[in-house]
Structure 1
């Protein structure tokens, strides 16, 4: 299977699977087509096979389904036709603002986040604000994003570095381990947030809104936090359970999770009997990272090469008046809250 809508001829009818994903096989189930992972295929089950995409073997791939009409005014030869750090992204941002305003009420927006989002005071608050404002319907990440976001709520640091000043705290390199141990003593992330009285952050915002959070583990995870999926197939199933509902996917500063999510997300979904596009965005400061997803088959992705923190603050500042959560930035491991003063700048109030 590919990311595109694929039609299969059964008798005299052409059938479109309502749920699809790459790296799977198409299995006929009477009058509908089931898309099955190879590991779930049972011996003896019939599978559609073919080497052509033009319908001649009963399989038609509709690659032009959502392509916008070109105005025809461009030259065959042109500079800067690719997507890179030199690309002008103003139009992409405006389109994304418009899309998210629509999707907040009419779609299902899945965010895929890397830990860099939690390393900065402004980006962490911006992400929490987007959650509180309803622009996030599911959150996929790894153990690191969850750990450092909670570390920020408890200690004001990420990997021991102050999330606002970027100064290394004394013995700060122990903070993420202290945080994980405390979370494990509480038994769950939810219990930690509630019983420790954590007041800000991405996971706190998601928990407050009842948003599904899927944290998939890796080979080198510290801890990990309770609730992190250590089994790769369980993690895939949990991620897929959210991605199959997606109408928009925004993957930010996490190459491997971006590729995994992109490859599980088709370019279309069926809503109320109508086929509509699924919008996929890949945001990273590395050109290699954003282009990697396209190289792995997700051809419908819109890449934006930018700093993750700047991207989130742009979204927060341009999606209307978002109610930013009250952010506490403890000055040390005892949880003392520093006095806040207003500072003019792109992030608003700062400690």
Structure 2
């Protein structure tokens, strides 16, 4: 005997393609649907509503369908309270725990909807009832779960709200709704990105820069440093390699042994990066090297001088590493997560690994601009769950100077 549930979709469900995805998911997973109510918004500023019954042959077959629909933004009608189960021990979640998306999420408790704080993908939701200000719900990564934490399980009593992209450019991402393309006009795109950065700063928002070593290697270092000095970067998240390249440029005029000005490879230039690391270790760290006048320009210099917090996350490939680099992966992830939750706009520049790492920590409402010479970087970022990421395919050595000129010389 078939079993069924009623689900609801609301918002710009036609323009965003949500209805098409929902219909396709149900059919691809062996279910069926019947539309009970369909109200179409007839103007650009009007939303649409759909109520539909989703059916499958058995409850076991229906549950995966409902899970996928829920991740897309289709919510069960007439919801009950979310199911809570205590964690059996530290770092162990109950079976069938709810794994979060990066979309704004609410859980139902005692008949009331409660916003989930610090939303990001692939986390558990922990609920603290009976707090002074009512019930609190927030995400926790699995390794942070503590014994007896009340963890949300199943799909019931959970409401997910993916960001919408209406017909015009008035949505939350404005000009960025076109995704990524190598063929879009670069000059107008850079102007739009500059406008978004300036508007974010002027409205009191925070900007997180995520640069890769290629920013230094391509000669864009001084222009990124200008943006930091002018107050258009509030946080910086990078790897050990980026900082070493930046410091090497100051000490030796090279980046990974290559002279950035004439592209020559000076004798013993290949050793400059390890010499740089040695000098910074000897000084005690980046800030200490700046205080000792060993370093007097560059991105890391401007971060220290302008009190811009930075996270340098280490990897298995790092030389040294620098004293400032966080070598514990979990500690580095938590530091990145703290910055990501504060950011209103994230500018990712020529770094696939760090772009994905930061993207995994971001809520879908955060504006993300990814600039890379390789279109696959933005594509992979979106495929890993950061669907709001949009980008520009261009050489980073061209992009950053133009962006700095557009912002600072306007």
Q: TM-score, normalised by structure 1?
A: 0.81
Shift in alpha-carbon separation, 1:93–1:126, aligned structure 2, 3 A? same
- The alpha carbon displacement at 1:169 in A equals 0.8
* Separation of aligned partners in 1, 2:278 and 2:210: 25
Shift in alpha-carbon separation, 1:47–1:91, aligned structure 2, 3 A? farther
Name the counterpart of 1:307.
395
Out of 373, 377, 386, which is 1:285 matched to?
373
Q: Deviations over 1:56-84 (max 9, x none)?
A: x21111114xx242059xxxxxxxx8633
1:137 to 2:234 alignment: yes
The runs of at least 4 consecutive aligned structure 1 residues that moved more than 6 Å come to none
Name the counterpart of 2:109.
10
1:128 to 2:216 alignment: no
- The alpha carbon displacement at 1:42 in A equals 1.9
- The alpha carbon displacement at 1:44 in A equals 2.9
Question: How many residues get paired?
Answer: 297
1:234 to 2:331 alignment: yes
- The alpha carbon displacement at 1:194 in A equals 2.4
Name the counterpart of 1:46.
150
If asked which structure has higher relative contact order (CA below 8 Å, sep 6+), I would say 1
Shift in alpha-carbon separation, 1:49–1:93, aligned structure 2, 3 A? farther
Query: Is there any run of 5+ residues in structure 2 with no aligned partner, and where?
Result: 1-99, 130-134, 170-177
Q: Deviations over 1:141-179 (max 9, x none)?
A: 001000010000011001111011111011101111111
* Separation of aligned partners in 1, 2:180 and 2:369: 13
Out of 198, 202, 216, which is 1:118 matched to?
216
- The alpha carbon displacement at 1:266 in A equals 0.4
Name the counterpart of 2:125.
26
* Separation of aligned partners in 2, 1:174 and 1:82: 41
For the 8 Å contact 1:120–1:164, the answer to whether it is kept is no
- 1:323-338 map, 5 Å: none
Q: Secondary structure at the match of 1:48?
A: strand
Shift in alpha-carbon separation, 1:100–1:196, aligned structure 2, 3 A? same
- The alpha carbon displacement at 1:89 in A equals 4.6
Q: Secondary structure at the match of 1:267?
A: coil
For the 8 Å contact 1:291–1:303, the answer to whether it is kept is no
- The alpha carbon displacement at 1:38 in A equals 0.6
For the 8 Å contact 2:370–2:378, the answer to whether it is kept is yes
Q: Secondary structure at the match of 2:342?
A: coil
Higher strand share: 2
Q: TM-score, normalised by structure 2?
A: 0.70
For the 8 Å contact 1:21–1:264, the answer to whether it is kept is yes
Q: Which moved more, 1:102-111 or 1:220-229?
A: 102-111
Name the counterpart of 1:338.
none
Aligned-residue RMSD, C-alpha: 1.7
* Separation of aligned partners in 2, 1:71 and 1:251: 25
Out of 216, 220, 225, which is 2:313 matched to?
216
Work out which of the two has the higher radius of gyration on C-alpha atoms and give 1 or 2.
Answer: 2
Query: Is there any run of 5+ residues in structure 1 with no aligned partner, and where?
Result: 52-56, 73-80, 269-277, 323-351
- The alpha carbon displacement at 1:115 in A equals 0.3
- 1:1-351 map, 5 Å: 1-30=100-129, 31-51=135-155, 57-64=156-163, 67-71=164-168, 83-105=180-202, 106-121=204-219, 123-268=220-365, 278-321=366-409
